Amino acid sequence: MSVSTAVSAQSVCAPLPVLGRDVTVPLVTGGEVGYAALDYAASAPALQRVWDDVAAYAPYYGSVHRGAGYLSQLSTDLFENARRTVAEFLGCRPDDQLVFTRSTTDSLNLLARALPAGCQVFVFETEHHASLLPWQDARVSYLDAPRTPRQAVETLEKALASRPEAADGGRGPALVCVTGASNVTGELWPVRELAAVAHAQGARIVLDAAQLAPHHPVSVRELDVDWIAFSGHKLYAPFGSGVLAGRADWLRAAEPYLAGGGASRKVTRREDGGVAVEWHDSAARHEAGSPNVIGAYSIAAACKALTEAGFENLVARERHLIAKVRAGLAEVPEVRVLSLFGDDAPRVGVLSFVVEGWNSSHFAAALSAEYGIGVRDGLFCAHPLVRTLLGSDPQTQGECGAPEAAPGEKSLNAIRVSFGAGTPDEHVERFVAAVRELVTDGAKWSYRTEGGRCVPAV
């Protein structure tokens, strides 16, 4: 079935239409202004194309894999076609499996459950918690933050080579987990080089592409990774779906991530009174329950829209926006942009910074309340990385503390601005002007801490 809608011709220099682009928000100083959504790294707005595609399908919604009725068959067809579309978007190999999950976090927890016995996991401390924390039941080696891409490769090579040998002379299974683009600094990681090192040392590698896939083409084949994980809500697709795609053997050998209908091929009673279960060995093995067909279809619709827009055009436009933001912030001496690999490192549209004399939560609250600009403040679910980047130089408590700081405690937190395919130039220009004005003139309103958040005082 085809429920796609026509795509409006887009100028390569124009942002893609997204939901919310015409939303206005009130200012504490009076009046309203168009909302500048600059928190894409947390959740990107849905593409209008995705919303239209889902709306076209909605009247035909039915149960998936279960029903004999027309709508059930149509929905099942749509769900499996979505799987093929996303696999093509990711450049999957013929024997790869693609499992629909709830998010990147869910995908990596699924893979953590599928690790073979004795598997050792290697992960840099710079990872988002989604890829830093799921491996608690395995032997985990946490690697220090590298300061150059080359150092990242050398650190991993040394760590993998130092694995102790087993009695049979081998080193046992190992998995490397690495991000494609940092959710804190936006910097691109040397994924292909890290994959080469991992494979040379007999390890496998999973790529957290949550921040990379919305900004750059991502291919399992070209990057030579074993698995890719990402979230739909970062890829301009709402409805809470994610993807884990890659090698099938560990997934087929593992117990189902969730036990229930859909994951089981055959269930019978045993003579001892229990039940015997024969599980599927396809992706269905880890997709128990009624699948989120709208979530899967929204991801597929986003993959189509980004492909048709052309990543070459999207990347070029994003570089233009990055240059605008960086040039503007560079003109404000009080601003320090955070970086692992240095100012010249390639990056996606994600930058974090601190402002001398300001608590970051206070600054972010003022951007929202006085300028209608939405950014993120805190440690961005990457606490070890942000603490490494900020060092031991806590910010002044000021009027408002960070969510992670106890009352009266000095805080370590930063401000993150992020943007993408739907961001107009005006939003980043207004952001840069607002930063300059706040630093020069100060906030026009007073603020207080409420429920751990910095909010305008009433």
Write out the catalytic residue numbers.
381
Q: Let me know: does 184 contact 352? Beta carbons within 8 Å.
A: yes
CA distance 437 to 337: 18
Two tokens, residue 364:
């972010």
CB 65 within 8 A of CB 76: yes
* Residue 437: burial class (beta carbons within 10 Å; 0-12, 13-18, 19+): middle
Q: Are strands 376-378 and 453-456 parallel, antiparallel or unpaired?
A: unpaired
Tokens of 452: 């751990």
CA 212 – CA 214 distance, rounded (Å): 6
Please give the Cα distance from 367 to 322 (Å, whole number). 19
What is the 3 state secondary structure string of the chain?
CCCCCCCCCCCCCCCCCECCCCCEEECCCCCEEECEECECCCCCCCEHHHHHHHHHHHHHCCCCCCCCCHHHHHHHHHHHHHHHHHHHHCCCCCCCEEEEECCHHHHHHHHHHCCCCCCEEEEECCCCHHHHCCCCCCEEEEECCCCCHHHHHHHHHHHHHCCCCCCCCCCCCEEEEEECECCCCCEECCHHHHHHHHHHCCCEEEEECCCCCCCCCCCHHHHCCCEEEEEHHHCCCCCCCEEEEECCHHHHHCCCCCCCCCCEEEEEECCCCCEEEEECCCHHHHCCCCCCHHHHHHHHHHHHHHHHHCHHHHHHHHHHHHHHHHHHHHCCCCEEECCCCCCCCCECCEEEEEECCCCHHHHHHHHHHHHCEECEEECCCCHHHHHHHHCCCCECCCCCCCCCCCCCCCECCEEEEECCCCCCHHHHHHHHHHHHHHHHHCCCCCEEEECCEEEECC
Sheet with strand 414-418: strands edge to edge? 335-337, 350-355, 414-418, 376-378
